[in-house]
Structure 1
Amino acid sequence: MGEQSPLPAIPVRALIPNAVTMLALCSGATGVRFAISGDYDKAAAAIVIAAALDGVDGRIARLLRGTSRFGAELDSLSDVTAFGLAPALILYLWALNALGPLGWVIALSLAVCCALRLARFNTAIDQEDLPKKRLGFTTGVPAPAGAGIALAPLFWSLATDNSLDADPVLRGTITGVATALAAFLMVSALPGWSFKSLRVPRNARLLLLVGVGLFAAALGQRPWMTLFAVSAAYALAFPFASISYGRQRRAEAAVNGEAGSGPPAAT
């Protein structure tokens, strides 16, 4: 038998995006470790860092031309860990345990719905003709945004000197509602906002840059209140995505109808 030819070497540029994805997974898992020791501020920060890493790994892959099926699968596994299992355990240890068995069920619902969302996403990753995807909307809430909505009560408590710690049942109830809402939005078929659907008028570019600067300043001065405000604003703005999507679908149907209706062919 002849010697087998060696496998081709993998370029480093293909490994960099996967390394970033792995860092996001490790950051999310480390958040659980901080929650076990009672450092909930560090636990929440770990999930935020994981979300930031998750937001850039795909862009790095496209920039370096390092996209691969392996990277897509690894990204989904990282998202389940960092934005499904880790937030579920953090929130259970922080608040949901006060609700007894119901609290654990709610925590599990976040992890399960996150896994189901990503499974649905993977089955449709190569389909370009989906209406929501074509118009620049997501189907349901993305996993990082869902984790942010679920963690909103923790952000609020950290921003207000642990104001929710005085009443564990109230804290568990508020957290349970936020977690259940995040789980539902993850698996729902409702259209959600994405960067592809957002358009900025040319005359508003300077205002947008000013807003980015103010956001950075607020994040530096009051990080937890800023994160709470972003999470709450995203959740409150979600219904408006359905309105915008419906408007665009009607406009698209009208254009297609006009294009399809022409003068009758001569006989």
Structure 2
Amino acid sequence: MRRRMRPVRGIPLRAIAPNAITALALCSGLTAIRFAIDGKWELAVLMVLIAGMLDGIDGKVARMVRGESRFGAELDSLSDAISFGVAPAMILYLWSLQTLGRFGWMIALVHALFCALRLARFNAQIDAEEQPHKSAGFLTGVPAPAAAVLALLPLYLWLFTDEPHLRLPVVVAPWTAFVAVLMISSVATFAPHVRLKQRVRFEAIAVLVVLVAALVAAPWPTLSLIAVLYIVSIPFSMRNYRRIRLLRAAGTPRPGASEPNSAP
């Protein structure tokens, strides 16, 4: 007797909204490449930043509407690879690295490839029980959106100062390679913990308003400052993770940590 085949189910209706946001992020990354081809560097950077903002909210929307799905996770990884790997690599190549010829193209490929490798490592370890960095509240390496912001730092400074030396490949190539290595490294970096509450502190609103105002009024120095502060924070995150690891090895729970049998 023939076994009756089950009909293939489509995507749940509640998953459409977060997947649409992810698709918009992918479109933003591709549009950044188009603006880079036209030499519109400001718009190219803006599209990468928009992709980063959309990438930051699609997961939250999925959790709010309970629209998490394997399809959404795969689409998110594809969007990240394009928006934060391929797009910054193409922008930097067309802006500076192409004068190095094949070597410049190799540096661009390294950034895009290492971004894909990082995302593949994340997907492979997503169900792993032993994740020391995640259990301690840290990320492993620099996440793809942050790496895209960091990689474009010479472009921010060039747009702000109009200093021609910042566009030289001898400056851009080592920096791009350095950021690419940070993506696939095992360095512990701070994980953003942003939780929406019913009552938001006034100080948080004030900081957000100041940040948005700074990005609108002076985007390039503000982005440069954000990138520099993130780089400066990495040694502190490494030190904090090392301290937590030593406390765990000594059997001392870190402050604020939950009990082993308690709910996360």
- TM-score normalised over the length of structure 2: 0.86
Paired position in structure 2 for 1:24: 25
Tell me, in whole angstroms, the C-alpha distance in 2 between the residues paired with 1:209 and 1:245. 29
Paired position in structure 2 for 1:212: 208
Superposed displacement of residue 195, structure 1: 1.5
Amino acid at match of 1:176: A
- Cα RMSD after superposing both structures: 2.3
What is the 5 A alignment of 1:1-267? 7-8=8-9, 10-160=11-161, 163-164=162-163, 166-167=164-165, 171-196=168-193, 206-255=202-251
Q: Aligned in 2, Cα 1:124/1:3: closer, same or farther, shift over 3 Å?
A: closer
Q: Aligned in 2, Cα 1:7/1:117: closer, same or farther, shift over 3 Å?
A: closer
Tell me, in whole angstroms, the C-alpha distance in 1 between the residues paired with 2:80 and 2:11. 24
What 5-or-longer segments of structure 1 have no aligned partner?
A: 200-204, 258-267
Superposed displacement of residue 93, structure 1: 0.1
Superposed displacement of residue 7, structure 1: 4.6
Superposed displacement of residue 126, structure 1: 1.2
Query: How many aligned residue pairs are there?
Result: 247
Superposed displacement of residue 30, structure 1: 0.7
Tell me, in whole angstroms, the C-alpha distance in 2 between the residues paired with 1:185 and 1:96. 20
Superposed displacement of residue 104, structure 1: 1.2
Larger radius of gyration: 1
Tell me, in whole angstroms, the C-alpha distance in 1 between the residues paired with 2:131 and 2:85. 25
Q: Aligned in 2, Cα 1:130/1:4: closer, same or farther, shift over 3 Å?
A: closer
Q: Aligned in 2, Cα 1:135/1:23: closer, same or farther, shift over 3 Å?
A: same
Superposed displacement of residue 177, structure 1: 2.2
Superposed displacement of residue 6, structure 1: 5.3
Contact 1:128–1:134 (8 Å) recurs in 2: no
Amino acid at match of 1:12: L
- TM-score normalised over the length of structure 1: 0.85
Superposed displacement of residue 234, structure 1: 0.6
Tell me, in whole angstroms, the C-alpha distance in 2 between the residues paired with 1:60 and 1:240. 31
Superposed displacement of residue 254, structure 1: 2.2
Paired position in structure 2 for 1:265: none
Identity %: 47
What 5-or-longer segments of structure 2 have no aligned partner?
A: 196-200, 254-264
